[in-house]
């Protein structure tokens, strides 16, 4: 039990070896989260409905995700096409304060005024009027819905195919598209998956990338100062290093991983045929198709200024079969010299066809994510040819359907003992995410906290107690769709044993979210 906090846990974590419940959810409960967020709130003070908020938990949880899924009676084709809505929950002295705002993107403003969709969505949402009304409209609607991070004096609402939107961290007011002091060109892709280097090369950095793809793909790796450094005069938000590398082939790169020496990318084996998009039949992302029998590739790019950059050429090495959106972490194994990358693999690219309503999808027909470790022998990978083909060995770390995994942020890029992730309610098969798992990456021991049968989880965020405490000291903040009350909750778990500390009932109904981050203090 943590000092100064809660009484007895409200719900005890059960070992995963306990008998799994049968598929323990109702489809209607799961689908009831898909709705528009109808209000924007300001500074609403909240206390725990159950348990108590740990007073040592001081900072702000920012979350992003689709908040507008329907206009004029038309639903988005896929929730990923929903406009970005930011929620900020500030914790201090055992209380929480809530604020939420839609990002005032050009598209959101235009569609608010029109009362209907006036842009196509990347994941298949079409303007009213059928293919003729959509053909040759190749504008991208920057919906700013994927992630939200603090950089310098601004929040960045991220969407990977275009520039970030800057927001005021306190009011969440949209300042507008930012080119980050001239770092970006207008319209330049900027990943929604920055990684925060806790200090591999001195002060903390935000490492991220943009990818320009086509018959060949160029990755721009960028490293920004994450904190002010009075000694050097570098300010938080300033670009301090970058490089560009081109690779053959189309690339779909949603996430990446870092270590002190490497930026690690996995180029999935997918092809892109834009014709149905151009002709108004499909969204751009629906034109991605896996290439059966073809392997993806790891692209290992030496980070600027690192020891590995003495040999600056990137290393390319075949990856195991499967499709990856997200990585857990990567690290350099000192004992063997191997580069280790932990990722969530799917057997195939999960896609929703043009005729399918996302609210009726059959989970059994969609591949489930599993956490898999790839150990890359760098020496063999550098030799290329047959050596490279045998340079990667794999190990499944978690077969239970999982997503949204993270390590303690102080272990980003370093070997970590623990991972926290969202998992399905059942131990096998594909189901909605209803539980949180803490996985010991060394012993394989698991602990699970479940929101089933009527609760559904979004991405958990692990908040460390402090930089010097043990790796699992802290909290896990979990947004829940509570279908029993048709509202959203925020659950605070003890990161060490997943015991429930507090349930905060939000006066909001928020659809399943994408990514979020914690800003301490
Ligand atoms: Fe993501």
Q: What is the pLDDT of residues 367-406, one digit of tens each?
A: 899 999 999 999 999 988 888 888 999 999 999 999 999 9
Q: How far is the centre of ligand 1, averaged over its atoms, from the C-alpha of 275 (Å)?
A: 26
- Residue 14: which pLDDT band, with cuts at 50, 70 and 90? very low
Q: Is the pLDDT of residue 15 over 50?
A: no
Residue keyed to tokens 């939200």: 148
Grouping H, G, I as helix, E, B as strand and the rest as coil, residue 79 is helix
pTM reported for the whole predicted model? 0.93
Grouping H, G, I as helix, E, B as strand and the rest as coil, residue 467 is coil
Distances (CA, A) of 125 to 76, 79, 137, 191, 453: 5, 9, 13, 22, 31
Q: How far is the centre of ligand 1, averaged over its atoms, from the C-alpha of 286 (Å)?
A: 17
Q: How far apart are CA 258 and CA 301, in angstroms?
A: 10
Tell me what pLDDT residue 4 has.
30
Q: What is the pLDDT of residues 480-503, one digit of tens each?
A: 999 999 999 999 999 999 999 999
Contacts of 312 (CB under 8 A, 6+ apart): 243, 302
Q: How far is the centre of ligand 1, averaged over its atoms, from the C-alpha of 232 (Å)?
A: 34
Write out 304-348 in H/E/C secondary structure.
CCCHHHHCCCCEEEECCCCEEEEEEEEEECCCCCCEEEEEEEECC
Q: How far is the centre of ligand 1, averaged over its atoms, from the C-alpha of 403 (Å)?
A: 10
Q: How far is the centre of ligand 1, averaged over its atoms, from the C-alpha of 430 (Å)?
A: 19
Per the document, the length of the chain is: 521
Q: How far is the centre of ligand 1, averaged over its atoms, from the C-alpha of 305 (Å)?
A: 27
Pairing status of strand 257-258 against strand 262-267 = antiparallel
Q: What is the pLDDT of residues 187-202, one digit of tens each?
A: 999 999 999 999 999 9
Q: How far is the centre of ligand 1, averaged over its atoms, from the C-alpha of 47 (Å)?
A: 30
DSSP string, 436-457: EEEEETTT--EEEEE-TTTEEE
Q: Which of 248, 165, 242 is nearest to 210 (CA)?
A: 242
Q: How far is the centre of ligand 1, averaged over its atoms, from the C-alpha of 517 (Å)?
A: 12
When comparing pLDDT for 57 and 214, which is higher? Answer: 57
Q: How far is the centre of ligand 1, averaged over its atoms, from the C-alpha of 178 (Å)?
A: 21
Q: How far is the centre of ligand 1, averaged over its atoms, from the C-alpha of 326 (Å)?
A: 6
Q: How far is the centre of ligand 1, averaged over its atoms, from the C-alpha of 19 (Å)?
A: 31
Pick from 215-224, 249-258, 356-365, 415-424: least confident: 356-365
Mean pLDDT of the chain: 91
Tell me what pLDDT residue 286 has.
80
Q: How far is the centre of ligand 1, averaged over its atoms, from the C-alpha of 277 (Å)?
A: 23
Distances (CA, A) of 152 to 172, 193, 268, 379, 421: 15, 17, 33, 39, 28
CB 469 within 8 A of CB 15: no
Q: How far apart are CA 130 and CA 489, in angstroms?
A: 38
Q: How far is the centre of ligand 1, averaged over its atoms, from the C-alpha of 193 (Å)?
A: 6
Residue keyed to tokens 């006036």: 118
Q: Is the pLDDT of residue 244 over 70?
A: yes
Q: How far is the centre of ligand 1, averaged over its atoms, from the C-alpha of 497 (Å)?
A: 26
Q: How far is the centre of ligand 1, averaged over its atoms, from the C-alpha of 380 (Å)?
A: 31
Q: Which of 255, 282, 288 is nearest to 269 (CA)?
A: 288
Q: How far apart are CA 426 and CA 452, in angstroms?
A: 10
When pLDDT is averaged across residues 206-228 and rounded to a whole number, the result is 95
Q: What is the pLDDT of residues 149-205, one digit of tens each?
A: 999 999 999 999 999 999 999 999 999 999 999 999 999 999 999 999 999 999 999
Q: How far is the centre of ligand 1, averaged over its atoms, from the C-alpha of 255 (Å)?
A: 6
Structure tokens at 219: 């990755």
Q: How far is the centre of ligand 1, averaged over its atoms, from the C-alpha of 208 (Å)?
A: 13
Q: How far is the centre of ligand 1, averaged over its atoms, from the C-alpha of 13 (Å)?
A: 27
Q: How far apart are CA 88 and CA 90, in angstroms?
A: 6
Q: What is the pLDDT of residues 292-345, one digit of tens each?
A: 677 799 999 999 999 999 999 999 999 999 999 999 999 999 999 999 999 999
Q: Which of 2, 60, 11 is nearest to 436 (CA)?
A: 11
DSSP H or E run through 276: helix 275-278
Contacts of 109 (CB under 8 A, 6+ apart): none
Q: How far is the centre of ligand 1, averaged over its atoms, from the C-alpha of 213 (Å)?
A: 18
Q: Is the pLDDT of residue 3 over 50?
A: no
185 exposed, middle or buried (CB, 10 Å; 0-12, 13-18, 19+)? exposed
Q: How far is the centre of ligand 1, averaged over its atoms, from the C-alpha of 477 (Å)?
A: 17
When pLDDT is averaged across residues 459-474 and rounded to a whole number, the result is 95
Write out 485-500 in H/E/C secondary structure.
CCEEEEEEEECCCCCE
DSSP type of residue 81: G
Write out 14-26 in H/E/C secondary structure.
EECCCCCCCCCCC
Q: How far apart are CA 264 and CA 274, in angstroms?
A: 27
Q: How far is the centre of ligand 1, averaged over its atoms, from the C-alpha of 143 (Å)?
A: 14
Percent of the chain topping pLDDT 90? 76
Chain CA centroid to CA 64, Å:
10
Q: How far is the centre of ligand 1, averaged over its atoms, from the C-alpha of 456 (Å)?
A: 18
Q: What is the pLDDT of residues 268-290, one digit of tens each?
A: 988 777 777 777 788 888 877 77
Q: How far is the centre of ligand 1, averaged over its atoms, from the C-alpha of 181 (Å)?
A: 25
- Residue 52: which pLDDT band, with cuts at 50, 70 and 90? very high
Structure tokens at 345: 């693999």
Pick from 100-109, 134-143, 228-237, 253-262: least confident: 134-143
Q: How far is the centre of ligand 1, averaged over its atoms, from the C-alpha of 516 (Å)?
A: 10
Q: What is the pLDDT of residues 67-88, one digit of tens each?
A: 999 999 999 989 999 999 999 9
Write out 355-419 in H/E/C secondary structure.
CCCHHHCCHHHCCCCEEEEEEECHHHHHHCHHHHHCCEEEEEEECCCEEEEECCHHHCCCCCCEE
């Amino acid at each position: 039990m943590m000092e100064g906090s809660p009484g007895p846990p409200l719900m005890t974590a059960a070992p995963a070896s306990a008998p799994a419940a049968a598929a323990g959810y109702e489809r209607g409960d799961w689908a009831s989260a898909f709705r528009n967020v109808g209000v924007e709130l300001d500074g609403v003070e909240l206390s725990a409905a159950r348990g108590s908020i740990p007073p040592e938990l001081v900072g702000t949880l920012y979350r992003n995700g689709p908040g507008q899924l329907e206009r004029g009676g038309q639903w988005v084709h896929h929730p990923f096409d929903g406009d970005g809505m930011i929620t900020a929950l500030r914790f201090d002295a055992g209380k929480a304060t809530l604020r939420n705002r839609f990002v005032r993107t050009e598209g959101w403003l235009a569609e608010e005024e029109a009362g209907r969709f006036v842009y196509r969505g990347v994941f298949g949402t079409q303007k009213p009027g059928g293919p003729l009304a959509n053909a040759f409209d190749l504008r991208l609607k920057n919906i700013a819905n994927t992630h939200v991070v603090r950089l310098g004096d601004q929040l960045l609402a991220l969407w990977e195919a275009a520039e970030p939107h800057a927001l005021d961290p306190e009011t969440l007011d949209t300042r507008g598209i930012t080119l980050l002091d001239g770092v970006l060109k207008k319209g330049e892709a900027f990943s929604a998956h920055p990684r925060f280097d806790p200090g591999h090369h001195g002060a903390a950095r935000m490492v991220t990338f943009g990818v320009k793809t086509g018959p060949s793909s160029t990755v721009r790796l960028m490293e920004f100062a994450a904190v002010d450094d009075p000694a050097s005069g570098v300010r938080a938000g300033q670009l301090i290093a970058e490089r560009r590398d081109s690779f053959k082939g189309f690339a779909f790169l949603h996430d990446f991983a870092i270590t002190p020496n490497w930026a690690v990318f996995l180029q999935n084996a997918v092809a892109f045929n834009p014709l149905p998009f151009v002709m108004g039949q499909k969204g751009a992302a629906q034109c991605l198709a896996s290439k059966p029998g073809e392997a993806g590739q790891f692209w290992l790019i030496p980070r600027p200024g690192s020891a590995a950059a003495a040999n600056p050429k990137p290393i390319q090495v075949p990856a195991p079969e499967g499709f990856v959106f997200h990585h857990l972490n990567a690290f350099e194994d000192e004992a063997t010299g191997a580069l280790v990358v932990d990722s969530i693999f799917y057997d195939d690219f999960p896609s929703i066809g043009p005729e399918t309503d996302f609210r009726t999808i059959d989970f059994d027909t969609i591949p489930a994510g599993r956490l898999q470790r790839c150990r890359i022998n760098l020496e063999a990978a550098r030799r290329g040819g047959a050596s490279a083909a045998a340079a990667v060995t794999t190990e499944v770390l978690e077969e239970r359907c999982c997503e949204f995994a993270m390590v303690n942020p102080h272990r980003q890029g370093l070997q970590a003992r623990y991972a926290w992730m969202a998992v399905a309610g059942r131990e096998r098969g594909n189901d909605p995410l209803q539980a949180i798992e803490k996985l010991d990456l060394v012993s394989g021991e698991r602990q699970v906290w479940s929101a089933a049968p009527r609760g559904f989880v979004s991405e958990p965020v692990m908040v460390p107690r402090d930089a010097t405490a043990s790796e699992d000291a802290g909290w896990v903040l979990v947004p829940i769709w509570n279908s029993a009350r048709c509202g959203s909750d925020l659950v605070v778990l003890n990161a060490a044993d997943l015991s429930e500390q507090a349930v905060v009932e939000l006066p909001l109904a928020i659809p399943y979210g994408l990514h979020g981050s914690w800003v301490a203090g």
